[in-house]
């Protein structure tokens, strides 16, 4: 290539990059698609499927087994995570925050303190449990919200959406005990009276946990919660690629409803309105566990939701979820369904039954501990994003009746995506007799297309035989065969 052509190619690349960034930034916030409420939409009108990823705490530097250590802080290499998401063609990240600084500076193993926190540390009031200055719960820490905005903004030109977890529960419980004497996440929580200058403590029963934060009748606590939510909304309202998740694995449905209502009322006063997601449960005030009933989640005013693994007699955990017929986008989040699983069948069973998918993964928490099976499932999540872009998703519905595998997303007779978890032959029905179809076989185990071509459907039903176990068949009608 001569220098003139090289410069011309470089200009084209730069223009395309700017065009893509402009397209994403001008697409508008996600909303539920008006024609197909299983999926999302933006200003383009296209149906949008989310295939995503989460790690544990990606907003703050924290002590929880992060790969990179700098200046005695364990930090996530954010740029590496961005490249990771793009490498696997992911278009969604579930953001995680932590409301505890961790086990404290005395802990010999996790000697890093989570940073930044939402509240400002102030002088003149002594030291918190982690050895740093105490927090003022009425002063926000700008560094926390600046990082939140910057990281959400970093995702936007890459076409990646993000759900912002407003509250998490585990920083209000025990866990992460180590050191001498042992310390817990509650020891480092900003709402532990030993860590703030305001005399506020939500461990009302003195059991060494502060989960009562989510069940408090104290108006001061509710006001602080809403002030935080308001600050988050003010921070990211200018962005199109965000939505809000109320809390991770919390019961408290009445409190969650109140927070959803508050977000919607406040965002009406702002330039942009974003979706609100509700997860399905379930820490109680006692610290125990209860899933929120399906109807309480799906019929709430939340715009979308994450399913519970125990719903429908545990069918989500059995990789046989019922077709999503709730009238709302639903996410199979592996954090709630089968944390620690790298089974590709979860990805395709969810996709063909009308769900979005989110993988709970630990590529930066336990480097080297996850092998080829995790590579495989990451690539498969990205492949569902690719197929969702390829088909006319607005018209696609889960149709268990159109394939003997029962895993079928289709608009008969025009397009089909069929998953066969086994290797036996299966039938596809609803085809156009005499129709010419383009076909493509995708091998989920090898995460690659292994065969493609054209076939003619002599009848409305046709048998197919996969080459391997765990394959996906894509069919597209091209017209009548001559």
Domain boundaries, the chain: 32-395, 399-480
Cα separation, 462 vs 452, whole angstroms: 16
Q: What is the pLDDT of residues 72-94, one digit of tens each?
A: 556 788 998 999 999 999 999 99
Q: What is the pLDDT of residues 151-173, one digit of tens each?
A: 999 999 999 999 999 999 989 98
Share of residues in the chain with pLDDT > 70 (%): 87
Q: For residues 148 and 236, is the Cβ–Cβ distance under 8 A?
A: yes
Cα separation, 351 vs 418, whole angstroms: 10
Residue 429: its pLDDT value, please? 98
Q: For residues 216 and 222, is the Cβ–Cβ distance under 8 A?
A: yes
Cα separation, 157 vs 155, whole angstroms: 6
Q: For residues 157 and 239, is the Cβ–Cβ distance under 8 A?
A: no
- Site of tokens 């092998």: 371
What's the start-to-end Cα distance of the chain, in Å? Answer: 45
Distance of CA 308 to the CA centre of its chain: 14
Classify 164 as helix, strand or coil. Answer: strand
Strand-strand pairing, 92-94 and 51-54: parallel
Provide the Cα torsion 15, 19, 25, 31; round to 10°. Answer: -160
Residue 154: its pLDDT value, please? 98
Angle at 93 between CA 272 and CA 472, to 5 degrees: 115
- Site of tokens 């740093």: 132
Distance of CA 295 to the CA centre of its chain: 22
Cα separation, 31 vs 244, whole angstroms: 12
Cα separation, 467 vs 362, whole angstroms: 32
Cα separation, 95 vs 54, whole angstroms: 7
Cα separation, 360 vs 75, whole angstroms: 19
Residue 9: its pLDDT value, please? 40
Strand-strand pairing, 161-168 and 135-140: unpaired
Residue 102: its pLDDT value, please? 75
Q: Residues near 230 by Cβ (< 8 Å), separated by ≥ 6? A: 266
Residue 40: which of 89, 95, 92 has the closest Cα?
A: 92
Residue 179: its pLDDT value, please? 45
Minimum mean pLDDT range among 55-64, 108-117, 243-252: 108-117
Residue 30: which of 38, 41, 22, 21 has the closest Cα?
A: 41
Q: For residues 448 and 467, is the Cβ–Cβ distance under 8 A?
A: no
H helix or E strand, kind and range, residue 289:
strand 289-291
Q: What is the pLDDT of residues 353-368, one digit of tens each?
A: 999 999 998 776 655 6
Q: For residues 316 and 332, is the Cβ–Cβ distance under 8 A?
A: yes
Q: Which tokens belong to 334?
A: 């592996």
Q: For residues 93 and 85, is the Cβ–Cβ distance under 8 A?
A: yes
Q: What are phi and psi of 429, to 5 degrees?
A: -120, 175
Residue 41 burial by Cβ neighbours in a 10 Å radius (0-12, 13-18, 19+)? buried
Q: For residues 272 and 237, is the Cβ–Cβ distance under 8 A?
A: yes
Q: For residues 324 and 398, is the Cβ–Cβ distance under 8 A?
A: yes
Q: What is the pLDDT of residues 389-424, one digit of tens each?
A: 999 999 999 999 999 999 999 999 999 999 999 999
CATH class of 32-395: alpha beta
Cα separation, 106 vs 9, whole angstroms: 56
Cα separation, 191 vs 210, whole angstroms: 8
Q: How many residues are present in the chain?
A: 482
Cα separation, 156 vs 91, whole angstroms: 10
Pick the CATH number of 399-480 from 2.60.120, 2.60.40, 3.10.620, 1.10.3470: 2.60.40
- Cis amide linkage into residue 181, ω under 30° from 0: yes
Residue 297: which of 311, 284, 287 has the closest Cα?
A: 311
Q: Is pLDDT of 202 > 50?
A: yes
Q: What is the pLDDT of residues 323-349, one digit of tens each?
A: 999 999 999 999 999 998 999 999 999
Q: For residues 144 and 117, is the Cβ–Cβ distance under 8 A?
A: yes
Averaged pLDDT, 52-77: 72
Q: What is the pLDDT of residues 220-264, one digit of tens each?
A: 999 999 999 999 999 999 999 999 999 999 999 999 999 999 999
Residue 19: its pLDDT value, please? 40
Residue 67: its pLDDT value, please? 54
- Cis amide linkage into residue 394, ω under 30° from 0: no
DSSP states of 25-63 as a string?
HTS---EE-SS-TTSEE-TT--EE--EEEE-S--SSB-S
- Site of tokens 């996790």: 110
């Amino acid at each position: 290539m001569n220098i003139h052509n090289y410069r011309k190619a470089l200009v084209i690349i730069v223009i395309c990059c700017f065009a893509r960034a402009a397209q994403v930034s001008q697409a508008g916030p996600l909303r539920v698609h008006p024609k197909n409420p299983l999926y999302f939409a933006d200003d383009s009108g296209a149906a949008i499927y989310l295939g995503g990823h989460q790690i544990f705490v990606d907003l703050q530097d924290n002590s929880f087994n992060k790969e990179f250590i700098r200046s005695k802080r364990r930090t996530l290499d954010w740029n590496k995570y961005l490249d990771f998401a793009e490498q696997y063609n992911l278009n969604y990240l579930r953001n995680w925050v932590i409301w505890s600084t961790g086990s404290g500076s005395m802990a010999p193993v996790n000697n890093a303190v989570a940073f930044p926190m939402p509240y400002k540390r102030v002088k003149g009031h002594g030291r918190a449990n982690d050895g740093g200055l105490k927090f003022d719960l009425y002063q926000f820490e700008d560094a926390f919200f600046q990082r939140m905005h910057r990281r959400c903004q970093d995702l936007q030109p890459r076409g990646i959406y993000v759900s912002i977890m407003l509250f998490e529960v585990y920083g209000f419980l025990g866990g992460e005990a180590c050191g001498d004497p042992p310390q817990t996440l509650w020891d480092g929580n900003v709402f532990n009276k030993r860590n703030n200058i305001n005399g506020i403590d939500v461990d009302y029963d003195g059991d060494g946990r502060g989960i009562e934060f989510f069940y408090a009748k104290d108006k001061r606590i509710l006001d602080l919660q809403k002030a935080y939510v308001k600050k988050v909304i003010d921070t990211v309202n200018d962005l199109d690629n965000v939505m809000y998740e109320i809390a991770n694995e919390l019961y408290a449905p009445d409190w969650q409803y109140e927070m959803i209502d508050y977000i919607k009322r406040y965002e009406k006063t702002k330039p942009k309105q974003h979706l609100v997601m509700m997860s399905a449960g379930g820490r109680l005030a006692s610290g125990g566990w209860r899933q929120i009933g399906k109807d309480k989640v799906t019929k709430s005013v939340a715009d979308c939701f994450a399913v519970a693994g125990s719903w429908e007699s545990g069918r989500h955990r059995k990789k046989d979820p019922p077709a999503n017929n709730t009238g709302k986008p639903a996410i199979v989040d592996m954090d709630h369904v089968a944390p620690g699983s790298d089974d590709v069948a979860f990805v395709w069973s969810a996709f063909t039954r009308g769900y979005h998918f989110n993988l709970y993964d630990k590529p930066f928490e336990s480097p080297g501990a996850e092998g080829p099976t995790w590579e495989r499932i990451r690539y498969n999540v990205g492949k569902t994003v690719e197929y969702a872009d390829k088909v006319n998703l607005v018209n696609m519905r889960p149709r268990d009746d159109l394939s003997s595998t029962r895993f079928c997303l289709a608009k008969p007779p025009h397009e089909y995506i069929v998953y066969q978890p086994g290797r036996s032959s299966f039938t596809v029905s609803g085809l156009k007799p005499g129709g010419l179809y383009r076909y493509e076989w995708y091998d989920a185990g090898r995460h690659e297309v292994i065969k493609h071509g054209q076939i003619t459907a002599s009848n409305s039903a046709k048998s197919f035989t996969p080459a391997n176990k765990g394959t996906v068949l894509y069919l597209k009608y091209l017209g009548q065969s001559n």
